[in-house]
Structure 1
Amino acid sequence: MQARFDSAISDLGRWRGMLAPLLADLRLRPPRRPMSELIKAMISGRTLDADSQAAYDAIVCRFVSIRQLACAAPDEIEAVIARVNYAPIKAEWMARTLRIIGRDRPDYRLEFLGGVPLAEALVYLEQLPGIRRKVAASVLNASTLRRSVFIVDTHVRRVLRRLRYVRRNADYCEASEAVTADLRDWSGEDLLLLHIAMKRLGQRHCHERAPDCRACPLRRECPGA
């Protein structure tokens, strides 16, 4: 078990170094507060980054506070985020989730998640409507909390599968837990940078269909190349 653990750390650390050129132009934006990151993450699934960012900006412009957004009807939210995929169901989930959080946390602040065990924080988020591991990990890692949990989206999971770091049918939760456990000593920001690097690899080279293996920085490491 220890040998596998050490090997996994070595692999991930080596891959991060090989992917460094993909981050050459990266300028990390100031992190959002946890609740703002929750809203952004909930509308991002299966949607281009530019469209989800535009939808998030529209929400911030339309609703002056989280409380006002929480009081909005799903169809009102849907009209604002219409550019994202699956807007009706995302609007419904958001309305229900904010109502639940409001009953538990009238100030709509999720900063308390930074002071509880990671497993407990994940359970709290994942019991909310429409929230699974990708969104939960985004709230905890990409926000001001910067907790050490790895975010796995469609692109990152595809990369990890092709590298055979996780099983071919591993889901988002399994992939996230594998990397989080193996890199338990990495900081939250280091894990975020690894996520961004692997996501960019998936977007630019490791496509679902017709991957551009010859241009991939990890081509000599990848059994699927």
Structure 2
Amino acid sequence: MEAEPQDRAREAMEVYRRLVELHGARPLVPRRDPLHELISTMLSQRTNWRNEDLAYRRMWERFGSWQAIRDADVAELTEVISPSSFAEAKAPNIQRVLTRIFEERGEADLGFLADLPVEQGLEWLLSLPGVGLKTASLVLLFCFAKPVLPVDTHVHRVSQRVGLIAPRLNPTAAHAPLLALLPADPYVLYNFHMALLRHGQKICVFRDPHCERCPLPDLCDWYQTHRAGHPPQEENA
């Protein structure tokens, strides 16, 4: 029988409590300028953080300003950000985003998003080329403390295995139901995101999750189906 919404919300907060206890809480303070956050998150799509960071640093070292990145030869920009996967698609999108921002705002500044209601901010960001719901939500939460929840592959995997969202729900579709389970508190939403992200990177990995190190087995649908009552197989000699 499917859990009632209030039961699932209680479970979401218990998952939050246990994973924050395990991985630690962070203060919600902007770590990067909003435009830096936006472009870095675009570079991070289907790319690990090391290559995202390398691509961003190479881009900035080569061109030195947002105007120069906007006006660069697209083939050169593609080569510079090549540590990031799908650079041939990301380079023109980055230039289109920068062109749009300069045309509308007159400068490389996203500070106006602080004054927009959440839905308007999401709508504006989602209208940018190459920007999806995860990226838009991340910029609004990380930079402006808006009550939204970015759902990346790690947050999605952990939430799905535990049973907070339906098994076949994709990451984009998971944003609304996960957000509905949590209080509209940016600090909680931020640390829920960060705790599940860390958990997915370190313990609840894609292949062969480390359930012996996880504090959630009694809550986890995946564990109950695949591991509970199943003794570990012995390795071949």
TM-score normalised to structure 2 length: 0.84
The question of 1:135 aligning with 2:149 is answered no
Q: Which residue of 2 aligns with 1:200?
A: 198
Instruction: Report the AA paired with residue 168 of structure 1.
Output: P
Q: Which residue of 2 aligns with 1:43?
A: 43
**Is the Cα contact below 8 Å between 1:159 and 1:202 reproduced in 2?**
yes
Q: Which residue of 2 aligns with 1:162?
A: 161
Q: Which residue of 1 aligns with 2:69?
A: 69
**Is the Cα contact below 8 Å between 2:101 and 2:107 reproduced in 1?**
no
Instruction: Report the AA paired with residue 66 of structure 1.
Output: W
- Matching residue within 212, 215, 221 for 1:214: 212
Deviation larger for 24-33 or 130-139 = 24-33
Instruction: Report the AA paired with residue 168 of structure 2.
Output: N
Unaligned stretches of 5+ in structure 2?
Answer: 224-237
**Is the Cα contact below 8 Å between 1:52 and 1:84 reproduced in 2?**
yes
- Shift of residue 94, structure 1, vs aligned partner: 0.9
**Is the Cα contact below 8 Å between 2:43 and 2:90 reproduced in 1?**
yes
CA deviation map 1:112-138 (0-9, x unaligned): 112112111111111211111111111
CA deviation map 1:6-35 (0-9, x unaligned): 434322221112112443496888521211
**Is the Cα contact below 8 Å between 1:133 and 1:172 reproduced in 2?**
no
What SS is found at the alignment partner of 2:221? coil
Cα 1:169–1:74 shift into 2, 3 Å: farther
**Is the Cα contact below 8 Å between 2:28 and 2:190 reproduced in 1?**
no
Cα 1:221–1:85 shift into 2, 3 Å: same
- Shift of residue 185, structure 1, vs aligned partner: 2.6
- Shift of residue 169, structure 1, vs aligned partner: 2.1
- Shift of residue 5, structure 1, vs aligned partner: 4.7
Aligned length: 221
CA deviation map 1:44-101 (0-9, x unaligned): 0111112212222222323322222222232222222111111111112111222222
Instruction: Report the AA paired with residue 10 of structure 2.
Output: S
In the aligned structure 1, how far is the partner of 2:62 from the partner of 2:176?
36
Instruction: Report the AA paired with residue 128 of structure 2.
Output: L
**Is the Cα contact below 8 Å between 1:73 and 1:95 reproduced in 2?**
no
Instruction: Report the AA paired with residue 155 of structure 1.
Output: H
Identical residues among aligned pairs (%): 31
CA deviation map 1:174-219 (0-9, x unaligned): 22222323324312x3312211110111111222222222222212
The question of 1:148 aligning with 2:147 is answered yes
**Is the Cα contact below 8 Å between 1:22 and 1:200 reproduced in 2?**
no
Instruction: Report the AA paired with residue 38 of structure 1.
Output: L
Compare CA radii of gyration and give the structure with the larger one: 2
Cα 1:25–1:178 shift into 2, 3 Å: closer
Unaligned stretches of 5+ in structure 1?
Answer: none
